[in-house]
Structure 1
Amino acid sequence: MTKGPNILILMVDQLNGTLFPDGPADWLHAPNLKRLAARSRRFANAYTASPLCAPGRASFMSGLLPSRTRVYDNAAEFASDIPTYAHHLRRAGWQTCLSGKMHFVGPDQLHGFEERLATDIYPADFGWTPDYRKPGERIDWWYHNMGSVTGSGVAEITNQMEYDDEVAHFARMKLYDYARGHDPRPWCLTVSFTHPHDPYVARQEFWDLYADCDHLDPPVAEMAYEDHDPHSQRILDANDRGNFDVTREDVRRSRRAYFANISYLDAKVGEILDTLDRTGQEAAILFVSDHGDMLGERGLWYKMSFLEGSARVPLMIAAEGVAPGLDETPVSNIDVCPTLCDLAGVDMSEIEPWTTGESLLPLGQGATRTSPVAMEYAAEGSYAPLVALRQGRFKYTRCALDPEQLFDLDADPHELTNLAGEPAHADTLAQFRAMADARWDLDRFDAEVRESQARRWVVYPALRQGGYYPWDWQPTRIASERYMRNHMDLNVLEDAQRAPRGQQPDPDGDA
């Protein structure tokens, strides 16, 4: 029988990593995440592989950058022959289960998970494919616009709340199943929420927590359009910023709802951790986001940018042998796959020559790391691929269409001063140029993205003609195997479905 740790992965969507300088910021109402942080290795400078949902998540699962997964955007297929951490762990004897979002595109909606408890919240087909042949085109029915900001506020239920309520419920039920011990294998449960992703709408109980919040105005005020770098201008155009009158109150209300939804998530995380504790189970726990959110800083919202608010993510690991504490080493969510395999003692050597991520466990055991963190973006709001490197205190970005950027994040955390043209930083710029040249052929990258887009613009409309057979995951539950049925022995059933077993209340009323 396989021996190894149970693993609980808590993933959230669009959570700005600058709000987690050392676990959740003090002013955030997040008691459960703060308790988790206290026993975790906390990576203050963790980055997404790509600041968009599907590319970032495919990279998180596989340990590969988008140029290797070919998941360039939110409608690019994630090939079923790419091993994910779910494949590696399942092959080695783990039960692997997903409750929630992963934004897989294509007919494979499992990618190594043995079981998937809920459908996805976003479509699994090619309908959201951007088109580099039509720069500047907005596809209004699926591109972001500023309606999430101008329409922010309070509601008891939304599409996303309904989804995350379900995700948490199914995850708790699965933990009860694990506790019953019907399957002796160790387990890996991924619980993936869609909050605090916009729209910025929160339940009243969490909204009320931020009535006196001092952080409702962005740390960098809105800039004039012409003061933005070229890619940020393209994002503003893609988000249809020019056709919306966004007031200061809209901004403050949206940020308040976003913070409230962090507290909503914290409550869900608390429910799951409480279930783990009450059932007497132990697990290594990893908390991460797919990308961040600019939250009105500079006038930018959502993601699609290498700026810190969009690209930085929270990343915390609580596991045996991983020393708790703050770690400021730049790392990436592509490091999750090799980290989980390392944690479980799973060998990745067969594909190691082609992997990108690095295990984080040595950092939790006193080792140092100097390799740069790489990011890529080739989706909506771009007209050609963008790439970035973070090493030490510096971040470098490159795009064939734009001037280079070099920022000193220690001296300039809000990235307001581009050092790429400064003679004093010529040597640093040359070093980053050399690292980028060694890693990327941008002409080839651009050609591969364009080929992928063109193919999908043929296939998608073809598949929507005549009979339509969607790829969206359809969860199934076998009713005849649930609760009590006549092929079951009632006495055996009642005992087998109890967890923990053998506990009796004492005379004072305590278990």
Structure 2
Amino acid sequence: MTDDRPNIVFIVTDDHAAHAISAYGSELLQTPSMDRIAAEGMRFDAMYCTNALCAPSRASILTGTYSHVNGVSTLSTRFDARQPTFVSMLRDAGYQTWLVGKWHLGHGGIHDPQGFDYWEVLEDQGPYWDPELLSEGGRRRQVPGYTTTVLTDLALERLTERDRERPFCLLLHHKAPHRSWDPDTKHAELFKEGVPEPPTLWDDHAGHGRAAREAKMRISHDLNERDVKQPYPPGLEGRERTKWAYQRYMQDYLRCVVSVDENIGRVLDALDEEGLAENTLVVYTSDQGFFLGDHGWYDKRFMYDESLLMPLMIRYPREIPAGSTTDAMALNIDFAQTFLDYAGLDPLPRMQGRSLRPLLRGERPADWRQSVYYRYWEHDDGSHHVVAHYGVRTQRYKLIYYYGDGLGLAGTSDRRTAPEWELFDLENDPAELRSVHDDPAYADVRRELEAELARLQAEFGDKPVLAPGGSG
């Protein structure tokens, strides 16, 4: 008897900002395949990560837990893959489970992917061309071609070779569009006419704290020659240097996104051809957002929305109304419980998210979250120098506390920075250009947000960091 539980195709990219998807209103490019998922399912407009770094976000996605629970708080804290994940639970429940692409959670022994019937992954970030793939038992093989296409080829092999009597869960995790943004040669001429500049490209961070001013992520001078694919022209300075570097960066970034979109189209077509589309949950997301020249930056890490916001589009024709959207607050810790819900499985008590299934049906529970908690742990790392911070976001406000201490964690600096706060009124200042933390008019808001931050930390079992002198 055929198992009628839904299949799951979970496509995750690396550093893909929602504002580089046309379904989100982007004017930078067209992404017809991603848009198709949104048009035939639901687009989430308030999907947030809990820690805007690749490995920590992926660990949270797999386990449904915050970084302080799953143990992956920085890029240098490796994942103990023996802990339960939605994948291992699906496999125990009879699902076929496959992983292709980026793992980025460590290799060797307990750090290898577990709970999968098949896995082939990139080592660390992996290259954009001719990837070497690792698999169980320490095996390695190099596959010629453009990595985004190679990984999609392997995913499609799993679909054609599947056991047709059992449901499957396919994780297709792309490297793209991660730095250093090497496009497929067939896309080399795209966007030559130039890419529109974001309104905040020239932000001087006068309205922010010291943390923003000292971060090393500026388009103007922190992109290297590998990023822009050639030496900087002699004598190029000031705004002209920024404009030139922005174009070099963004043209390649968008070319990488185009390849991802085309390959997503191949997956959607294959599901149609195999007669699987109706009973397959297709999910597209990224591990966090990314600055596309916003605030003059590339990269992520900060709690500002361009970094905090993740794209999320989900299609499941049997249950999700086509063309629907939601502004309900969702988190990357919600994926695990959502997938388990669709498979008819109960979540583990340690899981800290909520199933998105009611939202996907068009129903918002009365007790749905009204705020989200975020924490960035990788204090003052050796390249970007973003200081550790945590905060709370509501529909209208955002409160951020830069506690500035690595707490002895791997990948952090032992340099401590003076604590500071930022508060943004997102209704009056959606671009987050001016903190109003010290404005007396926001004193009541500040107190309410501080109380909500403390409540969320208690709910999730995270501990506040005391500043020098004992105040948090």
Give me the TM-score of the superposition, normalised by structure 2: 0.79
- Code of the residue aligned with 2:306 in structure 1: it is G
Deviation at 1:34, TM superposition (A): 1.3
Q: 1:224 to 1:390 in 2, by over 3 A?
A: closer
Higher helix share: 1
Segments of 5+ residues of structure 1 without an aligned counterpart are 124-154, 447-511
Pairing partner for 2:274 from 267, 279, 290 = 279
- Matches of 1:370 and 1:340 in 2, distance apart? 19
Other-structure match for 1:434:
451
**Corresponding residue number in structure 1 for 2:297:** 300
Q: In the alignment, residue 429 of structure 1 is paired with which amino acid?
A: R
Aligned amino acid, residue 362 of structure 1? P
Counterpart for residue 395 of structure 1: 398
Question: Secondary structure at the residue paired with 1:375?
Answer: strand
Counterpart among 362, 366, 375 of residue 358 in structure 2: 362
Aligned AA (1:88): M
C-alpha change, 1:220 and 1:240, in structure 2 (3 Å) is: closer
Match of 1:221 among 172, 193, 201: 201
Deviation sequence 1:66-91 (CA, Å, 0-9, x none): 11112011121212342211012112
SS of the residue corresponding to residue 420 of structure 1 reads coil
1:195 Cα offset (Å): 0.8
CA displacement at 1:218 relative to structure 2 = 2.4
Larger Rg: 1
Query: Equivalents in 1 of 2:53, 2:128: separation in Å?
Result: 27
> In 1, Cα distance between the equivalents of 2:22 and 2:442?
27
- What CA deviation, in whole Å up to 9, does each residue of 1:29-74 have, x standing for no partner? 2111111110121101211121111011101111111111120111
1:200 to 181, 195, 211: 181
> What's the offset of the Cα at 1:228?
5.0
TM-score normalized with structure 1 length: 0.73
Residues 43, 315 of structure 1: 8 Å contact kept? yes
Residue in structure 2 matched with residue 76 of structure 1 by the alignment:
77
SS at match of 1:404: strand
- Residue matched to 1:168: 152
**Are residues 1:261 and 2:242 paired?**
no
Q: Tell me the secondary structure at the aligned position of residue 73 of structure 1.
A: coil
How far is the alpha carbon of 1:288 from its aligned partner? 0.7
Mapped to 1, the partners of 2:50 and 2:364 lie a distance apart of 23
Q: For 2:131 and 2:214, how far apart are their aligned partners in 1?
A: 29
1:210 partner amino acid: F
Which residue identity does 1:251 align to in structure 2? Y
Residues 299/83 of structure 1: CA separation in 2 closer, same or farther (3 Å cut): same
Of the candidates 270, 287, 291, which is equivalent to residue 288 of structure 2?
291
User: 1:420 maps to what in 2?
Assistant: 437
- Quick one: structure 1 residues 10 and 242, their matched pair in 2 at CA, closer, same or farther if it must change by over 3 Å? closer
Partner residue of 2:121?
Answer: 118
Larger RCO of the pair (alpha carbons < 8 Å, separation 6+): 1
- The 1-side partners of 2:33 and 2:21 are apart by 14
Q: C-alpha distance in 1, partners of 2:22/2:329?
A: 13
Aligned in 2, Cα 1:90/1:259: closer, same or farther, shift over 3 Å? Answer: same
Q: 2:215 aligns with which of 211, 232, 235?
A: 235
The change in CA–CA distance for 1:253 and 1:339 in structure 2 (over 3 A counts) is same
Identity of aligned residues (%): 25
State the Cα distance separating 1:431 from its structure 2 match.
Answer: 1.8
CA contact (8 A) 2:7 2:168 kept: yes
1-side partners of 2:386 and 2:266: how far apart? 43
Consecutive unaligned residues of structure 2, counting only runs of 5 or more, are 133-144, 225-236, 405-418
Aligned with 1:86: secondary structure?
A: helix
Separation in 1, partners of 2:250, 2:358: 36
Shift of 1:311: 1.7
